[in-house]
Amino acid sequence: MEIKHVAVVGSGLMGSGIAQVIATAGFSVNVFDSFPEALKKGKDAVEKSLARMVKAGKLNDEKTAEIMKRLQFTGDMKDAVRGTQLIVEAVPEIPDLKEKVFKDIEKFADKDAIFATNTSNIRITEIASVLKNPERLVGMHFFNPPAVMKLVEVIRGEKSSEENFQAVFNFSKQIGKEPIKVLKDTAGFVVNRISAPESLYFILLLENKVDSPQAIDAFAKSQALPMGPYELMDYVGIDTVLHSLEYYERTLSKDYGLAKIPAQMTKDNKLGVKTSEGFYKWVNGKAQIPSSEPSTKVQLMDVFALEINEATKLIEDGVATPADIEKGFCLGMNRPFGPVSVANGLSNREVKDKLNELYEKYRADVFKPSRSIEEGKLKEVMSGKVPDKKTDQATASTGSELINVVKTGKVARVELNNGKNNLLNSKLLNDLDRVINELNSQKDIFVVVIAGNGNVFSAGAELTEFIPSPIEFMEHSRRGERLFRKLSEMPKIVIAEMSGYVLGGGFELSLNCDIRVAHRECTIGFPETTIGLLPGWSGSQKLAKLIGQSRAAYLILTGERFTGERAMELGIVSKLFEKNELKEKTMEFAKDLSERVAPIAAALSKTLIYKGSEMSTDVGLDMESMAMGNVYSSKDFMEGISAFVQKRKPDYQNH
């Protein structure tokens, strides 16, 4: 069933925001609320939000008018849901209220309409229990504010039909969101479930008088987190935090009842921003946080260990794949990396010891190591290999394939495939290493082209990737250097097809290729020194050898970006092609080389060129003469001479 017309039930902050998102994507939306004041407030909220987008240059007045025409606000439930294919409930997080609303929806909805709930914590199965046809209900959890946050958790209840589950997932993409699949119903789903133990932890810190809220928040912000835990609780609402903890106490673990402070604050009406006072005073929507030095009594590892622990439980139980957990947590928490990435940079022993330490301090069972961590299998579970798994739902890979390889004749085209900027992270480097090793041994491939899968070669390293220590960061650098060096050591001609952004690590990747081709407009450079880094994957050495110390020093020390045309003048690029013909012309060039140049001669020439720059001329000349002896005995040499004499194209066989 194609979704064309949607109803949103509840016009509060979330409901109005969801309606705006769907209408902006081009769909007609009926917005229902039983309270006229709430309905008006919801409409006003959409208009103000759109006005802000116009002011920011993201919309114009004409587009705004079109969006508002698609929105119909009504206090009549029957009129709201009739004729719609998808009905999204967005009323307050109160189980009884949600159940009552869905009973009413079911009375008036078309028989084929899909039901979705925007609940952030309550199990879908629990809400669906009041429906005559529970298979109609799917979780569709937007994050606040819906107009800004990209994540939608799509949750399969125990009785949700696969057809409806997939339809809501696809629709989430249609409205511009990045959905993840929650394959098994659990309280809190993915993001809130992972955050639940740390919410308990931060409250227990205060109850045990470990430090003040402002000192702990200052510590969190010093670790590049966008908001401290207590400021975030105030922003979300202390009553909301309380309701979540109470629900988790009923459905996940009695340990969540150890947190007493939220109940007292709710009783005192200190709910945070909504009452202008919580952990802090709030003025004009901003927390008035007393100045404080960052706490020295908490560690970032405390938070990381709790997040990793809960993530392993989700994978063990088949709730979500590692890839969706990582994606969901990064998008939902506005964090550069999630528990899967962090776990990959830590040992099982580090995480286990920290969890046991937290358990001993606070005696909360939810802090105890998960089964996988207890058994020393953290790496396995984070890669999707679940020990003694009870379900196959969580066995997917931690990520999609990041390298595309296409072989045509004697040419292999290797395309980086990691988003629009092809950022270089550990997973991509692992894939590239494997591909290089495989191609290295394939004697029927003479030329390798390294390129980006879209309009960008690579904008550099993924700087948000979690590296736990300076020593491991140093090894990360060495690993990249060794990997890129393999390209210059391959017994094949390697061409870098430079397009779009060729920055930082992407530029270093290209410098380790034998030949570089580009279009005039591409943007090249080493921006590292402008962000406190330096070219750490051989760039400082390769560029100086290629264009001389003076020019290399200028480009590295200034961080200046330059075009493909300038790269041609500097001697970095050997050929320029038109932008719209770059791929085609590069592959034609590669094909020509694969048919015209003897592979053994090319391989030995590469060794002489690169090794010769690292040794004396006498030693280099000795190596050259030995290489001449080797090619003289090859069958390709005889074929080359024969083809030259017979005035035909040679047929080299790499032997």
Q: Would you please indicate which residues are annotated as catalytic (active-site) residues?
A: 120, 141, 153, 192
Q: State the residue for tokens 């209840």.
A: 157
Q: Nearest CA to 17 among 52, 63, 56?
A: 52
Q: Name the strands in the sheet holding 561-563, side by side, starting at the edge strand that comes first in the sequence.
A: 501-503, 523-525, 561-563
Is the sign of the CA dihedral 258, 303, 371, 120 positive or negative? positive
Long-range contacts of 278-285 (CB under 8 A, 24+ apart): 278/230, 278/233, 278/234, 278/238, 279/213, 279/230, 279/231, 279/233, 279/234, 280/213, 280/214, 280/230, 280/231, 280/234, 282/234
Q: Please tell me the distance from the alpha carbon of residue 631 to that of residue 3, in angstroms, as a whole number.
A: 67
- Amino acid symbol at 425: N
**585, 577 contact by CB (below 8 A):** yes
Q: What is the torsion angle, in degrees rounded to the nearest 10, for the CA atoms of residue 434, residue 437, residue 440 and residue 441?
A: -110
C-alpha closest to that of 424 among 304, 486, 345, 510: 510
Two structure tokens written together for 389: 């798994």
In contact, 184 and 318? CB cutoff 8 Å: yes
- The residues, ordered by sequence, that sit 6+ positions from 481 with a Cβ below 8 Å of its Cβ are 536, 537, 538
Nearest to 214 by CA among 299, 272, 297, 294: 294
Q: What is the DSSP letter of 575?
A: E
